Amino acid sequence: MYELDKSKILNVMRTNAGEVLKKIHDAKGKNQDKTKEMNRFLDELHSKVFEILSKEVDKSQLPECAFLVYYCWIIVSLECRNYLWNYESMDLSRRSGELWESLVKLCWTFPVKKNVKRFNAPSFEDVQKQIKKKFVKKLKDRGIPDDLVSEIYNDYDKIWSLLGESINLNSDELFETFDELDGEIFESETKHEKVIIDFKGSYGSNEKGNKERLLTVARVYDMLNHYELTDKPYRCMLAVRTVEDSGHNYLRQLENSGLWSVERGNEVYDMIHKYTGFNILKVIKKHDLSIVNDLDENTAKYMKSKRTSKQDKSFADHYLTWW
């Protein structure tokens, strides 16, 4: 069994990035252009390192290998970006959320369990037609005269128009679980269902508009369940790494709607373990993963010294403490 080593992976990435990063840093140009060039190089570096290690590890180690390599890439990516130009609160808030989401989604790219598979979101146009057709059938099955059915449907159609012409039913992660897949039968603790997950690095007071979008999306999936227009029930789930005090009210409203379930903090990792079989918390403990502690000295010092204006927490505590 190949021994994955966090320190060696970090050392390889830092060594390869060092010389290139200095050239990018010293060159003339806008910071944004330099960052794009740096990201292109780091993406290629990640691909090469993972390609090499994936050939070394046992097949059963591939999920852990993918997770660890990407984690190390996150560390080096944060160091490089902060070296080019220091992170400010808004940039780091957005970036930390993107990186955390990409890291945990690897568990569905390389699942330990084999009865889980991603699916594509249905189009709103198709869904709308199916639900309307089912509604008309329900009216006719009750013996309502055709002229009255048309009258009721016209009013019903006007209500649908309030939703607009198109709603994006896609989300951060969509997957389904199976009792049987490709001729193989599975025994699983999870239900036979389709799950829609929306990942959030943090949830705060600026989420009111997003709350309304989430409710609209979930209502559409709920109607598909109600009219039995799916081969297995849909379930909508919000996975939140950090909940700010100001965000609790919006989360409660989502939970109380009965349309979304909410997983917070380590509950998210337990949920991922349940569905994909990949135990993130075990891997974190095994490799002693801590973003702030794994950053180089200069980057860690900066992240500990800078503070958020609203929460009055260090960048290290607020943005880079993920477990």
The mean pLDDT of the chain is 93
Same domain, 182 and 323: no
Statement: residue 141 has pLDDT above 70? yes
Q: What is the pLDDT of residues 85-95, one digit of tens each?
A: 999 999 999 99
Same domain, 254 and 153: no
Look at residue 149 in the predicted model and tell me its pLDDT: 95
Q: What is the pLDDT of residues 52-98, one digit of tens each?
A: 999 999 999 999 999 999 999 999 999 999 999 999 999 999 999 99
Residue in 248, 250, 176 with CA at minimum distance from that of residue 215: 250
Angle at 263 between CA 235 and CA 204, to 5 degrees: 110
Look at residue 207 in the predicted model and tell me its pLDDT: 65
Look at residue 24 in the predicted model and tell me its pLDDT: 95
Look at residue 247 in the predicted model and tell me its pLDDT: 56
Same domain, 118 and 226: yes
Range 5-15 average pLDDT: 98
Same domain, 116 and 242: yes
Same domain, 152 and 197: no
SS (H, E, C) the chain: CCCCCHHHHHHHHHHHHHHHHHHHHHCCCCHHHHHHHHHHHHHHHHHHHHHHHHHHCCHHHHHHHHHHHHHHHHHHHHHHHHHHCCCCHHHHHHHHHHHHHHHHHHHHHCCCCCCEEECCCCCHHHHHHHHHHHHHHHHHHCCCCHHHHHHHHHHHHHHHHCCCCCCCCCCCEEEEECCEECCEECCCCCCCCEEEEEEEEEECHHHHHHHHHHHHHHHHHHHHHHCCCCCCCEEEEEEEEEECHHHHHHHHHHHHCCCEEEEECHHHHHHHHHHHCCCHHHHHHHHCCCHHHHCCHHHHHHHHHCECCCCCCEHHHHHCCCC
> What span, in angstroms and rounded, lies between the C-alpha atoms of 317 and 297?
16
Statement: residue 278 has pLDDT above 90? yes
Same domain, 294 and 208: no
The pLDDT > 90 percentage for the chain reads: 83
Look at residue 210 in the predicted model and tell me its pLDDT: 83
Look at residue 245 in the predicted model and tell me its pLDDT: 64
> Residues 170, 271, 265, 171: what is their CA dihedral angle, to the nearest 10 degrees?
0
Q: CA–CA distance from 199 to each of 65, 93, 102, 203 (Å)?
A: 23, 14, 10, 10
- The model's confidence at residue 165, banded by pLDDT at 50, 70 and 90, is confident
Same domain, 251 and 154: no
Statement: residue 205 has pLDDT above 80? no
Same domain, 272 and 295: no
Domain count, the chain: 3
Same domain, 179 and 253: yes
Look at residue 211 in the predicted model and tell me its pLDDT: 87
Look at residue 206 in the predicted model and tell me its pLDDT: 60
Statement: residue 192 has pLDDT above 90? no
Domain end position, chosen among 132, 161, 190: 161
Same domain, 179 and 232: yes
Identify any residues that bridge with 260 across adjacent strands, giving them in sequence order.
236
Q: Where in the sequence is the domain holding 38, given as residue range(s)?
A: 1-110+279-323
Q: Which tokens sit at 230? A: 């799916």
Q: What is the pLDDT of residues 175-189, one digit of tens each?
A: 999 887 777 777 666
Same domain, 6 and 51: yes
Look at residue 246 in the predicted model and tell me its pLDDT: 56
Report CA 156 to chain centroid distance, whole Å. 35
Q: What is the pLDDT of residues 216-257, one digit of tens each?
A: 999 999 999 999 999 999 999 999 998 766 557 788 889 899
- The model's confidence at residue 208, banded by pLDDT at 50, 70 and 90, is low
> What span, in angstroms and rounded, lies between the C-alpha atoms of 117 and 64?
18
Please give the span between the terminal C-alpha atoms of the chain, in angstroms, as a whole number: 28
Same domain, 214 and 97: no
